[in-house]
Homo-oligomer: A and B are copies of this chain.
Amino acid sequence: MQADLAEGILFTDQYQLAMAQLYFVEGIHDRGAHFDYSFRSYPDYGRHQAGYCVYAGLGWLLDWMETARVGGAELAALRSQTTAQGAPRFRDEFLEWLEADGHFGDVELHSVAEGRVVHPLVPLVTAAGPLAMTQILETSLLNHLNYQTLIATKASRVAEAARGSVVLEFGMRRGAATGVNAGARAALIGGARFTSNTGISHVLGIDPKGTHAHSMVQAFIARGGTELDAFRAFARVYPDECVLLVDTVDTLESGVPNAITVFEELARAGHRGLGIRLDSGDLAYLAIQAARRLDAAGFTDTQIVLSNNLDELTIWQILSQIEEEADRYGVDASRLAARLVYGVGTRLITSHGRGALDGVYKLVAVEDDGGSVVPTMKLSDTPGKQPIPGSKELWRIYDERGNATADAVAMVGEQLDGVELRLHHPHRAGLSRTLAPGEVSSVERLRDVVWADGGRTEALVSVDLMRARRVADLTRLDPGVRRIIGPHIYHVSITEEVRRVRDDLRAGIAGG
């Protein structure tokens, strides 16, 4: 499969290499350039929409930048490319340059920290460095950040719907090939507590989770045994981690009673049955009925794991139904909710309803022939698609209560602390908001240099730290913005100065 060749520096769109050669031939490959990464809109899942995103993927992008090199295999591959006329597509001088300088040693990356809550239209990352290598970086950067941010965002929504209950990532059988490893990582950053993916759990230092499949029960039955035999065998091997899948034969008539029998046997042997899993049928109804039977047998804390096409909406529906119906069966709804665990598979790993984040990477400044770095923009874009030109900084502004009230793009060097802030909508003229110093409790610079001098500037960040960043940001976010349906729109804005630079440039291009 030659995975190495397909995952190293050639993990890129062909046109990046074509442009790099053109820059080389033109002698502008080493000109300083700034590219901004931003996404254009929150994921809209159809009946529901995100009001914020969780930024993820940076750590693996930096891993890639550390190892992506033009080695012998890459050179041979590029040398083998020819035009229809049989001429080599890449010139020897360019390939020699690429072999020597085709790395990210001179690129500097400014980025928001992974795990943070982020918003559209503002530069989450700026890549500054030689034009050719910042260009070649594009595809891999977009690939890593778009997908992991998409999945971390979905996971955060699922976790919000689950109201503090444990969420398990179960999606590897339906996700995109090895991309499920990135997806599991992003889910863990965004809100899943564990994943069933064994390999990636070990890479990230998180315990993998799993129970058993229907096939185990079937194997016992086919041999002339029973579901109870299968459960007992499982309890013998896993007395302290016994979660039993109860829907192979009949959930309430067979699975739950057999699980209770086994949990009683475990209790007599000094162990504690951990839980049951429901994987089909009306999960809310079955959870209530299972809880009732478990309660009656004295197993009031046993987990009830739910799975089967779950996402934020189905979890919300399940909890609403439990709130309405549990009481009728003598089950306490909130105690039942507290013992639920959610196994979320396909709809998390594929971000059901919106399968891609619309992140883009745009040239915003480039060094001119005189050595000055000048802003640039693509004029033909509709205003909402126009990136903000120039070298900028990203700030978060907290109100008197300490809540995040706006993200603001400023020019590098602008002072935001202690002054009256006039903030403009990024592209809708006339929409502005003024914040007096007294309305602002603090301003936070959201980006730091994460890559310089050929390496990352800080040690590897743990999943736990990224989760802590997310949780801290969520507590400082207006609850309306966190709603899973029809969220409030968070303010993203540009300063007066940024607006001036952009409007001047726009007028200059249009006039020139």
Contact = CB atoms under 8 A, between A and B. Distances in A.
A421 to B, nearest CB: 30
Contacts of A365: 222
B173 A176 contact: no
Given A7-B178, A179-B179, A356-B346, A203 B172 contact: no
Nearest to A134: B215
Given A18-B211, A173-B146, A212-B15, A366 B222 contact: yes
Interface string A341-381: 00000100111100111110011011011000011111111
A104 B222 CA distance: 23
Contact of A147 (B81, B175, B212, B237): B175
Interface stretch (A194-202, A327-335, A470-478): A194-202
A182 interface: yes
A422 interface: no
Contacts of A17: 198, 210
Contacts of A221: 376, 509
A26 interface: yes
Interface string A136-158: 00110011101110000000000
Interface residues of A, number: 122
A7 B210 contact: no
Nearest to A230: B22
A485 interface: no
A85 interface: yes
A12 B180 CA distance: 11
B5 A203 contact: yes
Given A6-B199, A14-B198, A369-B224, A233 B139 contact: no
Oligomer: number of copies = 2
A363 B15 contact: no
A142 B174 contact: yes
A15 B135 contact: no
A7 B380 contact: no
Interface string A172-193: 1111111111110000000000
A77 B374 CA distance: 52
A75 B418 CA distance: 58
A142 B173 contact: yes
Contact of A208 (B23, B81, B181): B81
Contacts of A500: none
B214 A378 contact: yes
A7 B199 contact: yes
Contacts of A170: 13
Nearest to A186: B177
Contact of A234 (B11, B22, B143): B22
B148 A23 contact: no
A351 B175 CA distance: 11
Contacts of A201: 14
A60 B1 CA distance: 7
A52 interface: no
A6 B181 contact: yes
A248 interface: yes
A415 interface: no
Contacts of A175: 143, 147, 176, 179, 356
A325 to B, nearest CB: 22
Nearest to A248: B378
Contacts of A214: 362-363, 378
Nearest to A377: B218
A348 B328 CA distance: 48
Contacts of A143: 172-175, 177, 180
Interface string A468-512: 000000000000000000000000000000000000000001000
A427 interface: no
Nearest to A345: B356
B381 A280 contact: yes
B219 A23 contact: yes
A355 B350 contact: yes
Nearest to A25: B237
Given A12-B197, A14-B197, A218-B377, 11 more contacts: A6-B197, A11-B199, A17-B198, A80-B202, A147-B175, A148-B177, A174-B359, A175-B179, A222-B363, A222-B374, A223-B369
8 contacts: A7-B199, A18-B211, A22-B237, A143-B175, A214-B363, A223-B369, A224-B369, A350-B355
| Those 4 A-B pairs whose CB atoms lie nearest each other, nearest first | A179-B179, A176-B179, A15-B210, A14-B210
